[in-house]
A and B are shown apart, each in its own frame.
Chain A
């Protein structure tokens, strides 16, 4: 059961030993050069996990598990050095600087990141359902992974 007060944000079953080592994250880290298998579920309505930079997309369907896999080949850092991305970021930040000058919203400077966005109409906040994806070298990935708490560690004990 979802229990925000006890940090069980996904509603995992605390009695399930297979859930204990799960890691619940707010941004997705992927290791470069290793095949990643996504297994997707949904608990409310249909969503679609769309990762446009990877040309990957799969619906998340309540009641079943859908799968997609790919191998990331370019880290976020490497991507940021690509001329077309530099150009894209420059153009975007010019627009955002103009907005800042006019005191308009959405004017913070932007840095390139991979994104995962929802691409199946899911309600009022559909247009803002997103997650950052970071592709990094294997060792950086392992380092990040080791700092993440498992579900068993992160969930607060029952009062």
Chain B
């Protein structure tokens, strides 16, 4: 199959010279070119990220200064903040939509969507995705779901407010809270479209990686970015449909009187007819996606880090095959650990011990990856540009957040900290911040590829990194202790419990760090936008990287390469490789691009 596809692609190459007529609409809006679609994903994701982060700043202010009047609340939230005091309902809505937007719209679509689209064809040596049309449909479904999610913020009774996990019955019964009315319906519709988008995208990535690799690009020569995107797409295809089923059943319970998740409910003086359903069933279905989702978010970031780190350490990635194996192991294990979100749900405690076992197994491949990153850095010739700093930052937050995961993954230790700020701190570090760092690393590293050779400003990148890194720990490190003290998450204010009074100062510290971190992102936004228009044009291969995307011309052309697609003769990590006499393989150059044939005296290492 791969041979046929290549032949087809080469035919295409020969008649490439003829001019494709492109209008503004086919080039910038309904584009079928993966590079343009990647940019569309990135910019939509960043805009959604702006909304999501702004929401978190609002509710952090409420947590630090509970009940205080802020004119900004009234300006942004309107009737939900009468006199500038935030309402409890909108607090829950903000928390809910923040979670939804960040997990799905920013870190799934914005991260995986952007870089899978940009890098899969360019790094495996393909003209485009297997189906440019489905790719376009995938983006526009994502756009539509984003629009619906944003519209849901403006409905009269408010947006969904049952937490991003939308556990029924709270999410199923409009009389339980105002957000469970039209807001929740739009949430479900938006997510349904999002899942369709994600599936179309993922299937396309899988088919492309399997079928469209250039000559010589065996699976064991794939850059680790592609391995990560490929496996991410597979777990997306396996688990997203289960979320769809949960959403559809919930929709049936809400609108058509079924009782999949509801039973024996008496609310607002009314006995409801629901009989025999169980919210625990919903929890199972939700977390069957929910947990793999963590890795859907994280694996692309880890793939990007592998690539950026090896390039900027000027060293081969340490343990290539171990890295691939751990990606696959993490992906497999991620589908059998969902129960660790449900240790105190009323699930059989014996199941808890089974899920503890599988959960703790994930520590093994995760540790393999962490050690391999550190050993890749070891004695490297480190080029500390912003992309590299964010990659190192990712390894740091991945380890810090991962260690608390060992506590939470244990069904007995979890009892005490379940649903407290300890959990919030854990997952923000291990998946939120880590994946954001991966996103930033990717943007700084591949910006020249996305915007025809223009480079981002390095010094602004340093400011962005250091302020973000310090503030991220400033927010989430103290949060562990707040959680250990027993403060539950999703509390509008903690003043109803005098035992939490002494933690108010810590809340203020966290909020101040969050506000500064938010401001630091504006530096990134400025850098990003101004570099698109005024960025300095760099060389074709600005980081001295081996992968194929840097052999493509800076100017974006349909089909990626003029003439024939480059062939591949080696893996992607021949950095600082020398002959036995200590001379570099290519004189005066410490890297050997993948399309360079093996030299006469060169020994081909089996990695």
Contacts and interface: CB of A to CB of B under 8 A. Distances in A.
Nearest to B175: A44
A80 B502 CA distance: 17
A35 interface: no
A34 interface: no
A63 B494 CA distance: 30
B177 interface: yes
Contacts of A95: 501-502, 504
B495 A45 contact: no
Main secondary structure of the interface of B (DSSP, over half): loop
A29 interface: no
B167 A123 contact: no
- B267, B345, B496, B498 interface centre (most CB from chain A within 10 Å): B498
Contacts of A66: 346
Contacts of A58: 344, 346
B108 to A, nearest CB: 23
Contact of B496 (A61, A121, A123, A127): A127
B177 A120 contact: no
B25 to A, nearest CB: 44
A128 interface: yes
A61 B501 CA distance: 30
Interface stretch (A15-23, A49-57, A136-144): A49-57
A126 B499 contact: no
Interface in A88-112: 88, 91-92, 95-96, 105-106, 110, 112
B280 A64 contact: yes
A130 B494 CA distance: 12
A66 B496 CA distance: 27
B495 A105 contact: yes
A122 interface: yes
A62 B89 contact: no
B327 to A, nearest CB: 34
B496 A62 contact: no
* A64, A120, A125 interface centre (most CB from chain B within 10 Å): A120
Interface in A68-100: 88, 91-92, 95-96
Contacts of A92: 498-499, 501-502
A30 interface: no
B499 A88 contact: yes
Given A44-B176, A92-B502, A62 B497 contact: no
Contacts of B345: 59, 61
Interface string B343-378: 011100000000000000000000000000000000
A21 B493 CA distance: 38
B497 A117 contact: yes
B202 to A, nearest CB: 30
A150 interface: no
Interface stretch (B238-246, B258-266, B437-445): B258-266
Contacts of B420: 119
Interface stretch (B34-42, B396-404, B483-491, B546-554): B483-491
A117 B67 CA distance: 21
Given A61-B346, A88-B499, A50 B419 contact: yes
B163 interface: yes
Question: In which size bucket is the chain A interface?
Answer: 35 or more
Nearest to A129: B496
A26 interface: no
A127 B494 contact: yes
The residue in B277, B344, B420, B485 that gathers the most chain A C-beta atoms within 10 A of its C-beta is: B344
B88 interface: yes
Contacts of A88: 499, 502
Interface string B469-489: 000000000000000011010
Contacts of B600: none
A91 B504 CA distance: 12
A41 to B, nearest CB: 8
A154 interface: no
B279 interface: yes
Contacts of B309: none
Nearest to A109: B498
A55 B170 contact: no
B432 interface: no
Interface string A23-34: 000000000000
B341 to A, nearest CB: 12
Contact of B502 (A91, A112, A120): A91
Contacts of B92: 121, 123-124, 126
B502 A45 contact: no
Contact of B88 (A44, A48, A119, A125): A125
B177 A63 contact: no
A42 to B, nearest CB: 9
A52 B419 CA distance: 12
A126 B92 CA distance: 10
Closest 4 CB pairs of A and B: A63-B263, A52-B486, A110-B498, A66-B346
Given A44-B169, A61-B345, A126-B491, 9 more contacts: A43-B264, A43-B265, A46-B279, A57-B415, A57-B418, A64-B263, A88-B502, A123-B177, A124-B89
29 contacts: A1-B271, A2-B266, A44-B266, A45-B173, A48-B419, A55-B415, A56-B416, A57-B416, A61-B278, A63-B262, A63-B276, A63-B279, A66-B346, A88-B502, A92-B498, A92-B502, A95-B501, A95-B502, A95-B504, A110-B499, A115-B497, A119-B488, A121-B490, A122-B170, A123-B92, A123-B170, A124-B89, A124-B92, A124-B177
Interface of A: 1-2, 11, 43-46, 48, 50, 52-53, 55-59, 61-64, 66, 88, 91-92, 95-96, 105-106, 110, 112, 115, 117-128, 130
